[in-house]
Chains A and B, each alone.
Chain A
Amino acid sequence: DGGITQSPKYLFRKEGQNVTLSCEQNLNHDAMYWYRQDPGQGLRLIYYSQIVNDFQKGDIAEGYSVSREKKESFPLTVTSAQKNPTAFYLCASSIAAGSGKYEQYFGPGTRLTVT
């Protein structure tokens, strides 16, 4: 079945450590996105990529980094520079970015806890 996988479901890290969250899609979508969700909040865009080897900052990119070396993969690294990394992280993809013509499909999310 086509879809988006994120692993692991739960992740625990010590403060000061970088951590990479995995996101893979087999939908053959060009665009991929990373969102952060905090309790009682909507989703906020961290980074997005419209095509391989290209990505743009979203609204809250500070303390995060991404890469897009393959069409199906868009890993997110939460660096030690991110002040409040504990959150629920959602990856999404769509046929193409922008214009609203295409809905985004979401993965199951990774809940990151940093202590």
Chain B
Amino acid sequence: AQKVTQAQTEISVVEKEDVTLDCVYETRDTTYYLFWYKQPPSGELVFLIRRNSFDEQNEISGRYSWNFQKSTSSFNFTITASQVVDSAVYFCALEGGSEKLVFGKGTKLTVNP
């Protein structure tokens, strides 16, 4: 069975703070893909990143960075110098041999001015 755990239900920070959203996954598949999506208040999910299980390189995109560690089954997401526009619910998801995307329950991030 595949499972994604986002232990942080809600996080509140002040603008310009750095924040890390945790994601821990479980799978028996050797080939799998991990995703992060952002859901702003409008409701539509926005794709942020996809990583496959064979690529453990960390990735940086502007203020966003992702740390993938197979040894701890984690795929954490860091926002540097957070902004009010970063306020949203963030979902981590996993797709393995079942060919279905399994989502975590999400972390609601509030960035206060």
Contacts and interface: CB of A to CB of B under 8 A. Distances in A.
Given A42-B104, A45-B100, A90-B45, A100 B50 contact: yes
Interface in B59-113: 91, 93, 95-96, 99-101, 103-106
B99 to A, nearest CB: 3
Interface of A: 33, 40-45, 48, 58-59, 88, 90, 92, 97-101, 103-109, 111
A43 B9 contact: no
Interface of B: 4, 9, 32-33, 35, 37, 42-47, 50, 52, 91, 93, 95-96, 99-101, 103-106
Contact of B43 (A59, A101, A105, A109): A109
A98 B33 CA distance: 10
A107 B44 contact: yes
A42 B106 contact: yes
Contact of A104 (B9, B101, B104): B101
B37 to A, nearest CB: 8
B43 A103 contact: no
Contacts, number: 60
A108 B44 contact: yes
A107 B52 CA distance: 25
A100 B43 contact: no
B47 to A, nearest CB: 4
A42 B47 CA distance: 15
Contacts of B4: 42
Contacts of B46: 106
B47 A100 contact: no
A42 B45 CA distance: 12
B91 A106 contact: no
B43 A88 contact: yes
A101 B100 CA distance: 12
A97 B95 CA distance: 11
Contact of A58 (B93, B100, B106): B100
Contacts of A41: 105-106
A44 B104 CA distance: 10
A44 B106 CA distance: 12
